[in-house]
Amino acid sequence: MTESRPRIEELPYFEDSAALFLPWAERRWAVFLDSGFPHSRQGRYDIIAAEPSATLITRGNLTEIRQGGAISLSPDDPFELVKKALGETVLSHPDLPFCGGAIGYFGYDLARSLEKLPAIACDEENIPDMMVGIYDWAVVVDHQARRSWLVAQGRDPATAGRWPHLVHSFSQIQTIGWQLTGFSIIGEVEANMNRLVYGRAFRRIQHYIREGDCYQVNLAQRFCAWCQGNPWEAYEILRQMNPAPFSAYLNYPQVQILSSSPERFLKVDDGRVETKPIKGTRPRSPDPGEDQSRLRELQESLKDRAENLMIVDLLRNDIGKNCAPGSVHVPEMFAIESYATVHHLVSTVCGLLAPSHHSLDLLRGCFPGGSITGAPKIRAMEIIEELEPHRRGVYCGSISYIGFDGHMDSNIAIRTLVHSDHRIRFWAGGGIVADSDLEQEYQECYHKAAAMLTLLEHFKIRKFGEHVGG
């Protein structure tokens, strides 16, 4: 570990980081890790970064690495390649979560680099399994302290020359001259499963459970629509409609990721590990009395508690691969977290990262998250591949940052839309167990999809150009 210190300059604080990001929204490899503030008070830090000094793009068994004008291809483990690109670990800053490092997505199908899985589902995503940038500079906004900083590790020589421009750019809200191409949905949103197809998959999972293949399988359906224009406009509305503490907007070449995830996957802070699996959902009600009744129903549901416990046990084992022996514990079980459209049942699992282990070792050892596969994980993923018509791509993977200092925070990429090739897709699903009810599980998909379906309806164009959203 080196004692290299980051360069830090305080900036004016602005409550809405989305407005600060606007001038960068169309730049390739620009990223906005969004706590949902001010529309939600649950989050604290926002992170904005762009102009990565290196990029890593994994497709199948090969990762393309671009750095300093050079391009190379590697068949090596993608997680190890990101770790290598980060270089020697530096000391952390006591007051800032991120002072430069890796930011990007690790798609669900990156698991194929870790495990041998069948190839049955149709792969229509046509996007990389992993896209990660190595960012020398970033803007960190602390909404609790109401302060902002420009930070840089100084590993990219170009950062020093950019510094005055970056300070100027992020010291003001620039709205004039940044009119983006309007976003719109063309035609209907189509699901890849109707009730009949979903019912067949549901019954097949319950057959596997009765046969002892598995205890729980997460079954999801995909929603897709044709679209045009810049998806940043859609993200600005999404973060107002469905604010969430682990949201993100990634503007990558040929693909944009719009995430309003409520779920933390893995956090590492000075060696302290935390994961917060979600399992158990009820839809919100506009009637306060009914809303409280649904919350209590979730809290008291033996079925939902059993589902949650299965995943807690799975994650205890997963993080235990890279945590110090005896350090893994569960400080909180079955807490309620409430969001714009749903209540969730959430537990917390903690541990201490073992000496000489890196955050990326932990991410690799837990990937993909057990809360969105099922248990046991590998058998559940085989069943998902058999029964879901399309590959998941980014969905149920993770959007993460891993700092030069080894700090990491990551989400489970649920409530996440993917835009490419003039189409926008998202998924919604839930865990199926032995006593699951078909109709309830099918409806739960739509409860979880509610905010995203409403978002796309807002941007929908009817025949003759009439815009539904007004």
Residue 470 lies in a domain: no
Q: Which residues contact 39 (CB under 8 A, 6 or more apart)?
A: 239, 240, 243
What's the pLDDT score for residue 466? Answer: 53
Do the Cβ atoms of 130 and 56 come closer than 8 Å?
yes
State how far the Cα of 130 lies from the Cα of 171, in Å rounded to an integer: 32
For 373-463, list the strands marked E by DSSP: 374-375, 398-403, 408-411, 416-420, 423-432, 460-461
State how far the Cα of 338 lies from the Cα of 344, in Å rounded to an integer: 6
Task: List pLDDT tens digits, range 320-367.
Answer: 999 999 999 999 999 999 988 889 999 999 999 999 999 999 999 999
Q: Please report which residue ranges of 269-394 form alpha helices under DSSP H.
A: 288-300, 302-320, 359-366, 377-387
Task: List pLDDT tens digits, range 194-207.
Answer: 999 999 999 999 99
Burial of 290 (0-12, 13-18, 19+ CB in 10 A): exposed
Which amino acid is present at 180?
Answer: L
Residues tagged active-site: 263, 279
Which domain does 212 fall in, by range? 7-465
What average pLDDT score do residues 117-146 get?
96
Task: List pLDDT tens digits, range 419-461.
Answer: 999 999 999 999 999 999 999 999 999 999 999 999 999 999 7
CA distance readout (Å), 181 to 50, 228, 467? 21, 9, 15
User: Does residue 462 surpass a pLDDT of 80?
Assistant: no
User: Does residue 254 surpass a pLDDT of 80?
Assistant: yes
Residue 339 lies in a domain: yes
User: Does residue 4 surpass a pLDDT of 90?
Assistant: no
User: Does residue 468 surpass a pLDDT of 60?
Assistant: no
Residue 2 lies in a domain: no
Do the Cβ atoms of 325 and 355 come closer than 8 Å?
no
- Coil, strand or helix at 302: helix
State how far the Cα of 331 lies from the Cα of 348, in Å rounded to an integer: 6
Task: List pLDDT tens digits, range 191-250.
Answer: 999 999 999 999 999 999 999 999 999 999 999 999 999 999 999 999 999 999 999 999
- Report the number of secondary-structure helices (H) and strands (E) in the chain: 10, 25
Q: Which residues contact 464 (CB under 8 A, 6 or more apart)?
A: none
Quick one: which of 133, 151, 132 has its CA closest to 141?
A: 151
Do the Cβ atoms of 146 and 13 come closer than 8 Å?
yes
Q: Which residue has the tokens 């940043």?
A: 232
Q: Sign (positive/negative) of CA torsion 155, 157, 160, 161? A: negative
Residue 465 vs residue 290, higher pLDDT? 290
Specify the CATH number for the domain of residue 307: 3.60.120.10
**Facing residues of 47 across strands?**
33, 140
Q: Sign (positive/negative) of CA torsion 398, 399, 404, 409? A: negative
State how far the Cα of 73 lies from the Cα of 78, in Å rounded to an integer: 11
Task: List pLDDT tens digits, range 161-191.
Answer: 999 999 999 999 876 656 667 899 999 999 9
Quick one: which of 332, 326, 402 has its CA closest to 363?
A: 402
Residue 48 lies in a domain: yes
Tokens linked to 174: 């620039």
- Coil, strand or helix at 213: coil
What's the pLDDT score for residue 174? Answer: 78
Tokens linked to 23: 């001038």
Give percent of the chain with pLDDT exceeding 70.
96
Do the Cβ atoms of 267 and 345 come closer than 8 Å?
no
CA atoms within 13 A on the CB side of 372: 29
User: Does residue 101 surpass a pLDDT of 80?
Assistant: yes
Task: List pLDDT tens digits, range 75-98.
Answer: 999 999 999 999 999 988 989 999
State how far the Cα of 389 lies from the Cα of 287, in Å rounded to an integer: 37
User: Does residue 141 surpass a pLDDT of 90?
Assistant: yes
What's the pLDDT score for residue 378? Answer: 96
Provide the angle, in degrees to the nearest 10, between the axes of the packed helices 302-320 and 359-366: 130
- Coil, strand or helix at 244: coil
Q: Which residue has the tokens 């802070």?
A: 269
Residue 402 lies in a domain: yes
- Coil, strand or helix at 356: coil
Residue 343 lies in a domain: yes
State how far the Cα of 91 lies from the Cα of 2, in Å rounded to an integer: 6
Tokens linked to 62: 């090969």
Do the Cβ atoms of 423 and 225 come closer than 8 Å?
yes
Task: Give how many domains the chain has, as a whole number.
Answer: 1
Provide the angle, in degrees to the nearest 10, between the axes of the packed helices 195-210 and 438-458: 140
Do the Cβ atoms of 305 and 435 come closer than 8 Å?
no
Task: List pLDDT tens digits, range 16-57.
Answer: 999 999 999 999 999 999 999 988 877 899 999 999 999 999
- Fill in the DSSP letter of residue 93: P
State how far the Cα of 149 lies from the Cα of 422, in Å rounded to an integer: 36
Residue 114 lies in a domain: yes
Tokens linked to 420: 């490419």
Q: Work out the pLDDT band at 467, boundaries 50, 70, 90.
A: low
Q: Which residues contact 289 (CB under 8 A, 6 or more apart)?
A: none
What average pLDDT score do residues 294-315 get?
92
User: Does residue 124 surpass a pLDDT of 70?
Assistant: yes
Residue 1 lies in a domain: no
Tokens linked to 457: 């309806």
What's the pLDDT score for residue 464? Answer: 40
Task: Quote the mean pLDDT of the chain.
Answer: 94
